[in-house]
């Protein structure tokens, strides 16, 4: 059972993977409830979008980029663009997919700043296996998923809006859990202040004025001369290197998985113009944004 929300945006397919099948979606988000099955009907494939995979029932293994994770009822997995995965069913399994692409982050009714934080979290999370780790959150997600499945089957006037709100609530819950788990990992590797600086960089990546050494040193009470050395001692990278590579990853996602013009991307990330973005991107990637997009 597939449910699609039709909108005025069309997600452009930029290429095909001839080695492994790649899936695409044409709407900002798509819901797909599979029938219970003894064998997964799909082989290995990669995705060009974000995908939440909820285990309605069953047990088995999921392979994501060569790493295997056991699954059971109530587990929830997050796939990001270019992830390759496949399921190995041990018992009869029913899967529920929530798929959404970059267009979703630009056309949703949520605020732009909140959508940017969502995108950052989903694009850069490091959590392995199921993204829901504790029993209380698992029960919340279970209730939301059951409500979403019920609304998919309703044909009343308000079903589409209720579905949209439920999807947004699920994404918000998952994002909060990912942020909490990633922060725990960061705090294990760095001291508390370095972890706070990393979060500050993520939250202000679209505003270069807030990422200057002078501003960050003022925000966190560290001298400007000591800031770079302190950050590198805790993370292995200079502050400028970390911010530049994080920003580059977000720009790569837009180039590959959206139809934004390069000038629009430059404006979003605070570059003075398209040429400024070209110089920045080429310094890190060794090619222009246009060449990267057309690879």
Quickly list DSSP for 28-49. SEEEEEPPPBSS-S--SEEESS
What span, in angstroms and rounded, lies between the C-alpha atoms of 227 and 213?
7
In a domain? residue 239:
yes
Which residue ranges in the chain fall short of pLDDT 70?
A: 1-28, 43, 45-48, 101-128, 155-159, 179-192, 257
Asked whether residue 194 falls in the same domain as residue 103, the answer is: no
List the domain range (segments joined by +) for residue 251: 190-293
pLDDT attached to residue 67: 78
Asked whether residue 72 falls in the same domain as residue 163, the answer is: yes
Asked whether residue 32 falls in the same domain as residue 154, the answer is: yes
**70: Cα within 13 Å, side-chain hemisphere:** 4
In this prediction the pTM is 0.56
C-alpha dihedral (146, 59, 173, 103), degrees to nearest 10: -90
pLDDT attached to residue 187: 46
Say if CB 188 and CB 132 are below 8 A apart: no
168: Cβ contacts below 8 Å, ≥ 6 apart: 108, 109, 110
Q: What CATH number does the domain containing 82 carry?
A: 2.60.120.10
pLDDT attached to residue 11: 26
Asked whether residue 246 falls in the same domain as residue 174, the answer is: no
Structural domains counted in the chain: 2
Asked whether residue 162 falls in the same domain as residue 74, the answer is: yes
pLDDT attached to residue 117: 64
Over residues 151-191, the pLDDT tens digits come to: 887 766 556 777 877 888 888 888 777 766 544 444 444 55
pLDDT attached to residue 271: 94
pLDDT attached to residue 220: 87
What span, in angstroms and rounded, lies between the C-alpha atoms of 233 and 16?
42
Over residues 260-274, the pLDDT tens digits come to: 889 999 998 999 999
Asked whether residue 261 falls in the same domain as residue 166, the answer is: no
Distance of CA 32 to the CA centre of its chain: 19
In a domain? residue 133:
no
Q: What is the DSSP letter of 210?
A: G
């Amino acid at each position: 059972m597939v449910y699609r929300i039709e909108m005025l945006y069309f997600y452009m397919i930029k290429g095909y993977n001839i080695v492994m099948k790649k899936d695409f979606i044409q709407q900002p988000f798509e819901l797909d409830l599979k029938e219970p099955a003894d064998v997964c009907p799909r082989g290995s494939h990669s995705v060009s979008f974000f995908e939440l995979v909820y285990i309605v029932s069953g047990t088995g293994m999921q392979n994501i980029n060569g790493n295997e994770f056991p699954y059971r009822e109530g587990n929830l997995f997050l796939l990001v663009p270019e992830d390759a995965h496949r399921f190995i069913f041990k018992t009869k399994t029913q899967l529920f997919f929530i798929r959404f692409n970059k267009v979703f982050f630009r056309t949703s009714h949520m605020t732009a700043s909140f959508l940017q934080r969502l995108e950052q979290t989903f694009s850069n999370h490091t959590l392995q296996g199921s993204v829901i780790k504790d029993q209380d959150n698992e029960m919340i997600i279970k209730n939301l998923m059951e409500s979403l499945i019920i609304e998919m089957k309703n044909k009343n006037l308000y079903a589409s809006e209720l579905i949209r709100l439920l999807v947004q609530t699920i994404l918000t819950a998952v994002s909060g859990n990912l942020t909490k788990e990633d922060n725990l990992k960061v705090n294990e590797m760095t001291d508390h202040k370095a972890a706070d600086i990393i979060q500050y960089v993520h939250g202000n990546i679209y505003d270069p004025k807030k990422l200057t050494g002078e501003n960050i040193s003022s925000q966190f009470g560290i001298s400007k001369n000591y800031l770079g050395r302190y950050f590198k001692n805790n993370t292995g990278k200079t502050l400028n290197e970390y911010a530049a590579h994080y920003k580059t990853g977000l720009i790569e996602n837009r180039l590959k998985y959206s139809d934004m013009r390069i000038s629009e991307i430059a404006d979003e990330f605070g570059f003075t113009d398209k040429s400024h973005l070209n110089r920045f991107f080429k310094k890190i990637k060794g090619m222009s944004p246009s060449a990267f997009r057309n690879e």
